[in-house]
Chain A
Amino acid sequence: MPEKTAEKHVTDKAPAPGAVAEAGPAPAKARSLWSDAWHDLRRNPMFLVSSALIALLLVMTFAPGLFTSASPRDADLAEHYLQPPNWGHFFAPDWLGYDGQGRSIYARIVYGARASILVGVGVTVLVTILGTFIGMIAGYFGGWIDSLLSRLTDVFFGIPFLLGALVVLTTFENRTVWVVILALAFLGWTQIARVARGAVITVKQADYVVAAKALGASTGRILMKHILPNALAPIIVVATIALGGYIAAEATLSFLGVGLAEPAVSWGLDVSTGREQLRNAPFTLIIPSVMVSITVLSFLMFGDAVRNALDPKLR
């Protein structure tokens, strides 16, 4: 559930006393914040491990053929129905066994990475763009625009995410990866919008913004050149951590039957197929479940490391 990240308290309601102080990056040392962060990250084992895993998943996404010669769709019911894993055969089609359709689970794991990664990254990018835009407008202009946009944010925030996604996705006939991305982004932008608004409100009172205004810079220039770069850190922190949540959301929705559908390959789908075998052949359920968890974990660790680096106060 993406809206549940630990950052919520930081950004949630304007009156939170800690919020204002925490959300503001150190504006005067903008450049060194990023380079400092990079310096920290390189030494963080959590970051290194998670980056390696993510890199692996990215390669799976774009070149699954490198990992297996088996196809995720080829089924041989007569020969391989629910054949248990052969743990010694590393990277062979029968390594992780075969599912209830007689398909290689290993191949499905490899090809399933694509859906998870595309949805995770796609939703995060869209949500960041949309949320930042709305939050910036609301935070910078204030007044009735802020009231209006904030209420709009409240409306979307008030709709339970899972319920909303269920309803929205049911309306679509052909649920491709892109539809899932759009639907999740449609419901998920509120958190970033709130963070961005809070950050912008803090930044806009900074001296250099006042100075730029006094020098007659255009609104667009102020927003893009001065406000955005300085409000970016908290947004990136929230976005990276939410990414794992979107991957989990895709798996959950596919599991519930409203996400991706056959013949698309998705771990969530495989979990829902495997649930019938919980008593009989539990590996068909457990292996894709573990894969979802590892992937979400990688992105969470990654996000955590980035947060620690960008927000030194938390250490």
Chain B
Amino acid sequence: MRGAKSAKWVAGAITVALAATACGGSGGEDSEGNKGSGPAGYVSIDVGEPQRPLIPADTNESNGSYVIQSLFTQLLDFDAKGEIVYTNAESVETQDSKTWTVKLKSGWKFHNGEAVTAKSYVDAWNWYANIKNNQQNSFWFADIKGYDDVHPEKGDPKAETMSGLKVVDDTTFTIELKDRVPYFNYKLGYATWAPLPKVFYDDPKAFGQKPIGNGPYEFQKWDHKKLIQVKAFKDYQGPNKAENKGIQFKNYSTLEAAYKDVVSGNLDIIRQVGPTDLPKYKQDLGDGAIEQPYAAIQTLVPAFYSKTFKDIDPKVLQGLSMAIDRDTITKTVLNNTRTPATSFTPPQVKGNQTLDTDIFTYDPAKAKELIKEGGGVPGNKFTIQYNTDGGHKEWVTAVCESIRKATGVDCVGDPKPDFATDLEARDNDEVKGMYRGGWVADYPVNVNFIKELYHTKAESNNGRFSDKEIDDLMAEGDKASSLDEAVKAYQEVEKKLVEKMPAIPLWYYRINGGHGEGVDNVNVDFHGDIELPQVTVK
């Protein structure tokens, strides 16, 4: 089990890999030029160069997350069903969803022998949250009381520590939140909540190149753009103790090259088979082929400020949704790498439900009718924005043609040359029609797919969907005193979303990877990551 990781970047990362096919080239063997999978008992996997130094709160893309998750363990983690499994924590409990008490397991050590204590957590979180340290994931700590003092919107921090964090004794600390958050413990599974040893504060920059964590593996070497190697940590106490001797994260920039190496036995595991090899990978790999859905969804998000979709009747969006032949597109253009969506949340998260609606069914006649009833698409034409460096062109084109054929509404792609440009247009409210949205679970609860995307004030609500009724329903859910109640409340929100159509869900992701004959027990967790510690070497 490894922690939840915000892998909205997964799409981005695979995409960078795909783009690199167009032009990449930083693949290759590991530095010693030794073929095969490295030292005996080690498992090799295609994980590219992390974008940032290896600090838990500064990593949000999938390459870095893989490495971070092997080196660090948080308080808790999730099993394949999305249920909480305590790792470093003995328990995380609350009475009122506002004050949480964390009890740590004793006897845990960092890789340098230092004991993991309550202070290791509290100091780390204070450091991560501090605006001066520029951590990308600092906003994850925003629920905690006193966050605004260490991370003001402008200017220098007023305090060095968050008042909501209190160390009780060596293995106990309490977290006081600003408001109730019934699912707060689920958030703690994200890799950002990892503790740090004391040596970190001496020189964070050097630490980022040579991290010392408390996870199942300890850091060995980082040969930039080629290889990162970690070895099993002998004194590891958690349930996810390594079953192998270590891991080599090898950098390939084309999926094809990595795949070829898996087939020829030079690489053990590939996370995603490239489009060129997808039609034949099951033949090539036999039992080694991995095909499994995970908690991620792709959507089309209308920009509700754009000329086309300003004050649009949701019926039009329902019509457009029904004009998309999800079945055929996933089977052909997408090579079965996706499963057609039937709701706003993927099946792997708590609270996923069967919605009583037909808006996800392909029905050209009804689609036309709904669009007509709703007053049509202004100008009878709209665009879908995507980044060309990400392998999205194919499905965007197919979706557009499906809509055009079924309803006569003209739909064209609005390509941005790379992800950076795509994001800038979204941030600045410059999307002209719809944009391609993607979301991978941070924590396996439906809230993550609803509140963070469709609440008026949600950071990731780039379509600027805003509906008072929805916001109120969410506020209600957040007041719930137990997780189950919150999940139920959000299920009600989801039912309402069908009427309001803040986005058009397209499909859920599947991982299409594989492994060679040298390894076994290759499993996938709920957000599509390979469970590396479980992998055994034959």
A positions within 8 Å CB-CB of B: 73-75, 77-78, 81-82, 100-102, 169-170, 173, 255-258, 261-263, 272-273, 275-280
Residues of B within 8 A of A74 (CB): 401, 405
A276:B405 contact, CB within 8 angstroms: no
Residues of B within 8 A of A280 (CB): 276, 279-280
Contacts A257-B22, A261-B413, A262-B412: A275 and B276 contacting too (C-beta < 8 A)? Answer: yes
A101:B394 contact, CB within 8 angstroms: yes
- Kindly state whether residue B418 has any CB partner on chain A within 8 Å: yes
- Kindly state whether residue B209 has any CB partner on chain A within 8 Å: no
Residues of A within 8 A of B21 (CB): 275
Residues of B within 8 A of A78 (CB): 325, 328, 332
A277:B412 contact, CB within 8 angstroms: no
A262:B397 contact, CB within 8 angstroms: yes
Contacts A78-B325, A101-B398: A256 and B22 contacting too (C-beta < 8 A)? Answer: yes
B325:A276 contact, CB within 8 angstroms: no
- Kindly state whether residue B275 has any CB partner on chain A within 8 Å: yes
Residues of A within 8 A of B263 (CB): none
- Kindly state whether residue B329 has any CB partner on chain A within 8 Å: yes
Bound Cα distance from A77 to B421, whole angstroms: 30
Contacts A101-B401, A256-B23, A272-B22: A279 and B394 contacting too (C-beta < 8 A)? Answer: no
A273:B417 contact, CB within 8 angstroms: no
B333:A100 contact, CB within 8 angstroms: yes
Helix, strand, loop or mixed for chain A's interface? loop
B positions within 8 Å CB-CB of A: 19, 21-23, 274-277, 279-280, 325, 328-329, 332-333, 388-389, 393-394, 396-398, 400-402, 404-405, 412-413, 415-418, 421
Contacts A257-B19, A257-B389, A263-B412: A77 and B329 contacting too (C-beta < 8 A)? Answer: yes
Bound Cα distance from A170 to B412, whole angstroms: 20
Contacts A273-B394, A276-B275: A262 and B415 contacting too (C-beta < 8 A)? Answer: yes
Contacts A261-B388, A273-B394: A170 and B333 contacting too (C-beta < 8 A)? Answer: no
Bound Cα distance from A263 to B404, whole angstroms: 12
A77:B333 contact, CB within 8 angstroms: yes
Bound Cα distance from A102 to B416, whole angstroms: 24
Residue from B23, B280, B328 in contact with A77 in the complex, judged by beta carbons closer than 8 Å: B328
- Closest Cβ of chain B to A91, distance in Å, is 23
Contacts A169-B417, A257-B19: A77 and B332 contacting too (C-beta < 8 A)? Answer: yes
Residue from A102, A169, A170, A173 in contact with B332 in the complex, judged by beta carbons closer than 8 Å: A102
Residues of B within 8 A of A263 (CB): 397, 400, 412-413
A81:B277 contact, CB within 8 angstroms: no
- Closest Cβ of chain A to B155, distance in Å, is 34
B397:A101 contact, CB within 8 angstroms: yes
Bound Cα distance from A263 to B397, whole angstroms: 8
B401:A279 contact, CB within 8 angstroms: no
Contacts A75-B405, A77-B329, A78-B328: A276 and B415 contacting too (C-beta < 8 A)? Answer: no
- Closest Cβ of chain B to A97, distance in Å, is 15
Q: Which of B22, B274, B397, B412 has the largest count of A CB atoms less than 10 A from its CB? A: B397
Question: Can you name the residue of chain B whose Cβ is closest to the Cβ of A278?
Answer: B276
A257:B279 contact, CB within 8 angstroms: no
Bound Cα distance from A170 to B416, whole angstroms: 8
Question: Can you name the residue of chain B whose Cβ is closest to the Cβ of A103?
Answer: B401
Bound Cα distance from A279 to B273, whole angstroms: 13
A77:B398 contact, CB within 8 angstroms: yes
Bound Cα distance from A273 to B402, whole angstroms: 18
Residues of A within 8 A of B333 (CB): 77, 81, 100-101
Residue from A101, A170, A173, A255 in contact with B418 in the complex, judged by beta carbons closer than 8 Å: A170
Q: Which of B19, B325, B333, B400 has the largest count of A CB atoms less than 10 A from its CB? A: B333
Q: Which of B21, B402, B417 has the largest count of A CB atoms less than 10 A from its CB? A: B417
- Closest Cβ of chain B to A274, distance in Å, is 11
Question: Can you name the residue of chain A whose Cβ is closest to the Cβ of B274?
Answer: A276
- Closest Cβ of chain A to B130, distance in Å, is 35
A273:B401 contact, CB within 8 angstroms: no
A262:B332 contact, CB within 8 angstroms: no
Bound Cα distance from A81 to B394, whole angstroms: 13
Bound Cα distance from A278 to B274, whole angstroms: 12
- Closest Cβ of chain B to A152, distance in Å, is 28
A262:B276 contact, CB within 8 angstroms: no
B393:A273 contact, CB within 8 angstroms: yes
Residues of B within 8 A of A258 (CB): 388, 417
- Closest Cβ of chain B to A253, distance in Å, is 10
Question: Can you name the residue of chain A whose Cβ is closest to the Cβ of B404?
Answer: A73
Contacts A257-B22, A261-B413, A262-B397: A279 and B325 contacting too (C-beta < 8 A)? Answer: no
Bound Cα distance from A197 to B21, whole angstroms: 42
Residues of A within 8 A of B19 (CB): 257
Bound Cα distance from A52 to B225, whole angstroms: 51
9 extra A-B contacts, CB within 8 A, seeds A77-B332, A78-B328: A75-B397, A75-B398, A75-B405, A102-B332, A256-B23, A262-B396, A262-B412, A273-B393, A276-B276
A279:B22 contact, CB within 8 angstroms: no
Contacts A275-B276, A277-B276: A73 and B401 contacting too (C-beta < 8 A)? Answer: yes
B393:A77 contact, CB within 8 angstroms: no
Residues of A within 8 A of B397 (CB): 75, 101, 262-263
Residues of B within 8 A of A170 (CB): 417-418, 421
- Closest Cβ of chain B to A34, distance in Å, is 44
Bound Cα distance from A278 to B325, whole angstroms: 26
B401:A75 contact, CB within 8 angstroms: yes
Residues of B within 8 A of A81 (CB): 332-333
Contacts A77-B328, A262-B397: A279 and B276 contacting too (C-beta < 8 A)? Answer: yes
Bound Cα distance from A235 to B415, whole angstroms: 37
Residues of A within 8 A of B389 (CB): 257
Bound Cα distance from A287 to B32, whole angstroms: 41
Residues of B within 8 A of A276 (CB): 274-276, 394
B276:A261 contact, CB within 8 angstroms: no
- Closest Cβ of chain B to A84, distance in Å, is 14
- Closest Cβ of chain A to B433, distance in Å, is 13
B415:A261 contact, CB within 8 angstroms: yes
- Closest Cβ of chain A to B380, distance in Å, is 15
- Closest Cβ of chain A to B31, distance in Å, is 28
B417:A257 contact, CB within 8 angstroms: yes
Bound Cα distance from A273 to B394, whole angstroms: 7
Bound Cα distance from A128 to B279, whole angstroms: 48
Residues of A within 8 A of B279 (CB): 279-280
Query: What are 29 A-B contacts with C-beta separation under 8 Å?
Result: A74-B401, A75-B397, A75-B398, A77-B328, A77-B329, A77-B333, A77-B401, A78-B328, A78-B332, A81-B333, A82-B332, A100-B394, A169-B417, A170-B417, A255-B22, A257-B19, A257-B388, A257-B389, A257-B417, A258-B388, A258-B417, A261-B413, A262-B397, A263-B412, A263-B413, A276-B276, A276-B394, A279-B276, A279-B277
- Closest Cβ of chain B to A170, distance in Å, is 5
Question: Can you name the residue of chain A whose Cβ is closest to the Cβ of B389?
Answer: A257
Q: Which of B325, B332, B413, B416 has the largest count of A CB atoms less than 10 A from its CB? A: B332
- Closest Cβ of chain B to A197, distance in Å, is 35
Residue from B277, B280, B393, B405 in contact with A262 in the complex, judged by beta carbons closer than 8 Å: B393
Residues of A within 8 A of B394 (CB): 100-101, 273, 276
- Closest Cβ of chain A to B263, distance in Å, is 12
